[in-house]
Structure 1
């Protein structure tokens, strides 16, 4: 089933009734998000910016979020060497309810969070993004800091506007892939330096009103294929995606739209080999896990069971024009997350 309605004209994301004016996908953030147009209660609104910056041997992940009655600000440091390990540190805020003033667009403005322990800032500049962070007592009493630049030339992105089958609930999301990464992270006397010749960053920018209980699947990665930037974004599980899926291949700055993808996750262990299959045969992959960044939070009303699995993907993708591209040992991640919040 080809769910491929592309939105091509600019207009407000929400109508006067608080519902999406045009569910579907687009190559840029052309539908205009305005928090004031939301008809749901303020405590149901979820807004976040999430950056993942990934090399073959290490990664950093950075989240600033205002999820209505809770804010989750987090930093992850991951290593994929002989002894894979990760540490995630999260600062929780009660009832931010819009006080973080996250920008209405990913294309401008500054996303910032500051308290005595954590100072984190995401800045946008022409063709660039800048991530800076200082986190006191990140782990074992030692601080973490980073100063990372991502380059964002004029290129297609993945944007999706998805309704739920519930009044005033919707999800507006942009994934920006294939941004070359430079700069560094610093922890415990070790400097992790990103190389723009082979390392990339991805932005997951989300705004909307979610229902309470959701399970989603998401996978993403970037690399160079014979010197040409390649990336993918795959996912499903939340909202009514009858108008469009978020399954996309990025190649040389352009997107190639895919139909349905299935994550075949082993029942025994997330660390066993996975496969990914596609309804149109255009995304067929094997995935060898290296590290499961798992987290299980249970605060009764707020419950989160996360498995973000990093590993190496190999297989074949097919572009819109029928060109076959072979992928070999591409470092990426795929996740399954169940949230009640």
Structure 2
């Protein structure tokens, strides 16, 4: 297929040490990956150019039939709230968004993925993320959603002791730019979401969430690729994070499998994308040393594009099903069948 992309080089797979994320000059103290939160992020330590700091928490919770995605982001000059409802049977999605001009850190995004709550609202949207015993609680209210139908919901995401993907990445030629990211897969979900007069249940045996927690100071023009899924494979709780695009990933990739709460680190993964539209044909993902081979069959493309001069965003988050196999650290092969998830290509100039 055309459009093949290698998901990072990362042959050394350098471990990230504990300590402060940034030094006194605002540069990364170290680069690499970890399977827990090991670095302390402090917003005031960022020394990049003004308006370059970006902080976001994104949750995506999926079942075989439907899903919910929530975003809260403070991008210095623009805050962003969003909720998306996904209907895989109808192959459709509906979103509600709110823009908050120049929050400049005023959205109080937590410095840790493990502590601190998020509560943000405007006239159209209320979103809250809270730490509770045994996991996380996410809630949303959007009275005008879908032309006045309204959307509201509350989900509990169970988080027992478990590994995650953590990575600190620099940008070549921009020593005060960096990307500190944590992806927490395989969060069993319980609760309900109401859309109009319909209520949709999320049950922990079939609904799983992922948290994308990011803090950083990016360069202006970036294209990234990301794929994620969580669910059950051969009766075991299974998920993965695959991706690249932010900065210099020579120290480590963010490619990782999760089985029953334990991480299995991968090196290179290649994204084989269709030559046409991202949802026009299946994708394929292959790993170095034959540790991953997955076919991804699209269901729907949550596409959005905005171009207002110096700010441009072109996003394709394609939801679909993964089939194939992965190989764990001990050499065991695990089959993956009809696992719901997503794969995306996003370009941002901002």
Same fold (TM over 0.5): yes
The CA deviation at 1:36 is 1.1
The CA deviation at 1:42 is 4.2
The CA deviation at 1:119 is 1.2
- The residue that corresponds to 2:122 in the other structure is 115
Give the one of 109, 122, 125 matched to 1:102: 109
Give the one of 84, 94, 118 matched to 1:76: 84
- The residue that corresponds to 1:280 in the other structure is 289
The CA deviation at 1:136 is 2.2
* Partners of 2:308 and 2:316 in 1: CA distance: 18
- The residue that corresponds to 1:340 in the other structure is 349
Query: Is the 8 Å Cα contact of residues 286 and 293 (structure 2) preserved in structure 1?
Result: yes
- 1:36-63 alpha-carbon deviations (Å, 9 max, x no partner): 1111134110000000000000000000
Is 1:217–2:225 an aligned residue pair?
yes
Query: Is the 8 Å Cα contact of residues 61 and 77 (structure 1) preserved in structure 2?
Result: yes
Is 1:31–2:39 an aligned residue pair?
yes
Give the one of 157, 170, 173 matched to 2:178: 170
Is 1:316–2:325 an aligned residue pair?
yes
Query: Is the 8 Å Cα contact of residues 304 and 338 (structure 1) preserved in structure 2?
Result: yes
- Unaligned ranges ≥5, structure 2: 1-8
- Count residues in correspondence: 339
Post-superposition, which runs of at least 4 consecutive aligned residues in structure 1 deviate over 6 A? none
* Partners of 2:119 and 2:51 in 1: CA distance: 20
* Partners of 1:327 and 1:278 in 2: CA distance: 15
The CA deviation at 1:322 is 0.5
Report the secondary structure of 2:51's partner residue.
Answer: helix
- Unaligned ranges ≥5, structure 1: none
The CA deviation at 1:277 is 1.4
- 1:286-311 alpha-carbon deviations (Å, 9 max, x no partner): 11101111101112222111110011
Report the secondary structure of 1:36's partner residue.
Answer: helix
Give the one of 38, 59, 64 matched to 2:67: 59
Equivalent residues in 2 for 1:156-235, closer than 5 Å:
156-165=163-172, 166-235=174-243
Structure possessing the higher relative contact order (Cα contacts under 8 Å, 6 or more residues apart): 2
* Partners of 2:305 and 2:233 in 1: CA distance: 36
The CA deviation at 1:274 is 1.0
* Partners of 1:253 and 1:179 in 2: CA distance: 10
The CA deviation at 1:262 is 1.3
Report the secondary structure of 2:337's partner residue.
Answer: strand
Report the secondary structure of 2:150's partner residue.
Answer: strand
Residues 294/247 of structure 1: CA separation in 2 closer, same or farther (3 Å cut):
same
Query: Is the 8 Å Cα contact of residues 108 and 125 (structure 1) preserved in structure 2?
Result: no
Query: Is the 8 Å Cα contact of residues 129 and 139 (structure 2) preserved in structure 1?
Result: yes
Query: Is the 8 Å Cα contact of residues 234 and 336 (structure 2) preserved in structure 1?
Result: no
Is 1:4–2:16 an aligned residue pair?
no
Root mean square deviation, CA, Å: 1.1
- 1:184-231 alpha-carbon deviations (Å, 9 max, x no partner): 111111111101012101000000001111100000001112332100
- 1:161-194 alpha-carbon deviations (Å, 9 max, x no partner): 0000112100000000011001111111111110
* Partners of 2:273 and 2:339 in 1: CA distance: 18
* Partners of 2:59 and 2:29 in 1: CA distance: 28
- 1:88-130 alpha-carbon deviations (Å, 9 max, x no partner): 1211111111000101001111111122221110001232100
- The residue that corresponds to 2:301 in the other structure is 292
* Partners of 1:20 and 1:260 in 2: CA distance: 23
